[in-house]
Amino acid sequence: MKHRDHTKSVSFSFAIFFIFFTTMSNASEALEGWSAYYKGEYHLAHRLWSKEAIKGNPESQFALGALYTEGGVIPQNFSIAANWFKKAAEQNIADAQFNLAILYSQGLGIEQDLAAAAHWYGEAAKHNMAEAQNNLGVIYFSGQGVAKDLDKAFSWFQQAALNGNPQAQTTLGAMYLDGLGMKQNYYSAFEWFDKAATQDFAEAQYSLGVMYKDGLAVLKNRKAAIKWFLKASKQGHAAADEGLNQLLEEESTTRLPYYNSQRRRLG
């Protein structure tokens, strides 16, 4: 089975899922809007948040941006979302900073600007947001909007990994596995893959399968390799599915003479 290039398959993976309504504000101005939203009264929520957002309430500005990003009853409009996210981001709302960075990086509703994306990911990362820290790692790893810097990439991946982000943990494992930007260390690679795999992250599960199959940092263990390949395969991981099929075929071939001898003896 061909060894997979982890640095290409993992390290360029942004966390690009927008953050929707994860922060319940305690500000009285926004509470009525939250109450209406969770009751499914989206037009009322929109009206209440709009009133407060115009007054400069950052929580309501973020909420409006998320509402326009989410779409549904209120039609999706990334341009309006970007406008409200920016207003909230400038008032130091971490979720708005992160979402604004995604819009800049993808060119959604706003002209693509990788340097601006890097800036806003950086602002969100100051709030110890693991997703933003991971994306900063990707940015410095690939040199998108900033000068390429493997030391800074490693530092941001490490911060995100320590904050429990499975994507960053997997990328960090891949960097240790391939000796990219640091001395190769199979044991550290295994440790980070294991942390992410236990969070059901398919790429990490696949990587653990490879390490058990090839005996990297651990003794070769076909059963353990099959176990992790199977977990990743169930999530649609193509390389894991290939590895699983190969191991099962080898298992069948290895045990075939034993089965044939048993048949002859019993016959």
Cα–Cα distance between 185 and 152 in angstroms, integer?
A: 19
Residue 106: CB atoms within 10 Å = 14
Q: What is the pLDDT of residue 177?
A: 97
Element (H, E) at 209: helix 202-214
Q: What is the pLDDT of residue 212?
A: 97
Q: What is the pLDDT of residue 54?
A: 96
Q: Does a structural domain hold residue 26? A: no
Q: Could you give the number of structural domains in the chain?
A: 1
| CATH code for the domain of 236 | 1.25.40
Look at the alpha carbons of 85, 86, 91, 92 in this order and tell me if their dihedral is positive or negative.
Answer: positive
Q: What is the pLDDT of residue 14?
A: 44
Place of tokens 């989410």: 70
Q: Does a structural domain hold residue 154? A: no
Residue 43, burial from CB neighbour count under 10 angstroms (0-12, 13-18, 19+) = exposed
Q: Does a structural domain hold residue 222? A: yes
Which stretches in the chain have pLDDT values below 50?
Answer: 1-16, 23-24, 26, 259, 262-263
Q: Does a structural domain hold residue 155? A: no
Q: What is the pLDDT of residue 72?
A: 87
Q: What is the pLDDT of residue 145?
A: 93
Per the CB < 8 A criterion, the answer to whether 98 and 132 are in contact is yes
On average, the pLDDT of the chain sits at 87
Q: Does a structural domain hold residue 248? A: yes
Cα–Cα distance between 207 and 222 in angstroms, integer?
A: 14
Domain assignment of residue 216, given as a range: 185-267
Q: Does a structural domain hold residue 192? A: yes
**What is the pTM assigned to this prediction?**
0.83
Q: What is the pLDDT of residues 75-85, one digit of tens each?
A: 999 999 999 99
Cα–Cα distance between 69 and 77 in angstroms, integer?
A: 6
Q: What is the pLDDT of residue 261?
A: 57
Q: What is the pLDDT of residue 259?
A: 44
Q: Does a structural domain hold residue 215? A: yes
Q: Does a structural domain hold residue 172? A: no
